[in-house]
Structure 1
């Protein structure tokens, strides 16, 4: 037996993707190719198309998130006005847990619609009477800064990676299940053929 012969009941190993595609579309006329081999090639070709579709969908999802967040940041920037304010109390933390604390302090400011006051985000250690910059909306209420381009890109990349991960995991599970069924089918096919051939080959009646 040749060293490159396939194991009975199993698919030939290391078939290139192009070979699977040819077999899947019926352009492989090898007389030794069994129906189960063609079914496996269709499975491989389908998995390749699914992987390509997952990448395309991930890119589209990332672009949609990037576009939506960019539009939102532009809208916030159009209605955000930075004014000078003075703190009327020391900075305090809104959370004592390490790594998640944010400093804020009461402050006063003057705005075209009239004076205002409220809690604003400030640097750590800010004391009473410190001049700070405050972002206000059109109604004079404190608002945060628009999301930066770096954060928007990060969100888009994370959405794209998450989409690929979810679709890839689902595709891999589907491929493994179908492959297992085809392996069982190939083994049963080989056993049936052997039962017919073995008596004639061995001379046993």
Structure 2
């Protein structure tokens, strides 16, 4: 029983995609082509189309993510203003338990919206009274710099790869179930045929 399934898979694996397509649409008129073979070919053709569709969806998702993040970065840059802050204390390392390794220092700055103060990120070893450029939004609140093109592209690639992974797992699971069903049909067909041929082949009545 297992030999029959293995033999069928080996033969199917040598069939080209073009042959699968011809067989799937009923253009293979070979007398050796069984309905079960057409079912395998339809599965192979649909699986190929699904792979292309998954890649297309992932590409669209990555492109949309790139455009959205680029637009967001442009909006942040449009409302971000660089001013000079003066530190009022030395740089201090963040708490290691917070998961960050940057240094911050207390600082003051002036802006048309009014004077401001707070802790800002600074280079390691920054001393009191050091001038440090910082970015402020329209209301004078410190904001981080917008993402650069490289980081945006990297995020978009990760989103595309994540989309491929999620869709691939789902579709491959569905195709695996279909293949198993076809293999069970192949085993059943082989056993039925063997029950008819075996008595004549072995001479047993």
2:29 is aligned to 29
Worse-matched range after superposition: 96-105 or 130-139: 96-105
Q: Runs in 1 of length 4+ with deviation above 6 angstroms?
A: none
User: Can you give the 5+ residue segments of structure 1 that lack an aligned partner in the other structure?
Assistant: 1-6
Matched ranges for 1:31-180 at <5 A: 31-97=31-97, 100-180=100-180
2:204 is aligned to 204
Matched-pair contact (CA < 8 Å) for 1:87–1:130: yes
**In structure 2, distance between residues paired with 1:123 and 1:67:** 32
**In structure 2, distance between residues paired with 1:95 and 1:54:** 43
TM-score of the superposition, structure 2-length normalised?
0.91
Query: Measured at CA, do residues 74 and 89 of structure 1 come closer, stay the same or move farther in structure 2, by a change above 3 Å?
Result: same
Matched ranges for 1:181-192 at <5 A: 181-192=181-192
**In structure 2, distance between residues paired with 1:114 and 1:181:** 72
How far off its partner does 1:8 sit?
A: 4.5
How far off its partner does 1:97 sit?
A: 4.8
**In structure 2, distance between residues paired with 1:142 and 1:115:** 12
**In structure 2, distance between residues paired with 1:104 and 1:182:** 64
TM-score of the superposition, structure 1-length normalised?
0.91
Secondary structure, in 3 states, of the residue corresponding to 1:197?
A: helix
1:19 is aligned to 19
Structure 1 or 2: more helix by fraction: 2
User: Can you give the 5+ residue segments of structure 2 that lack an aligned partner in the other structure?
Assistant: none
How far off its partner does 1:98 sit?
A: 9.8
**In structure 1, distance between residues paired with 2:95 and 2:152:** 26
**In structure 2, distance between residues paired with 1:127 and 1:58:** 48
How far off its partner does 1:70 sit?
A: 0.4
**In structure 2, distance between residues paired with 1:81 and 1:22:** 63
**In structure 2, distance between residues paired with 1:189 and 1:32:** 14
How far off its partner does 1:17 sit?
A: 1.1
Query: Measured at CA, do residues 167 and 192 of structure 1 come closer, stay the same or move farther in structure 2, by a change above 3 Å?
Result: same
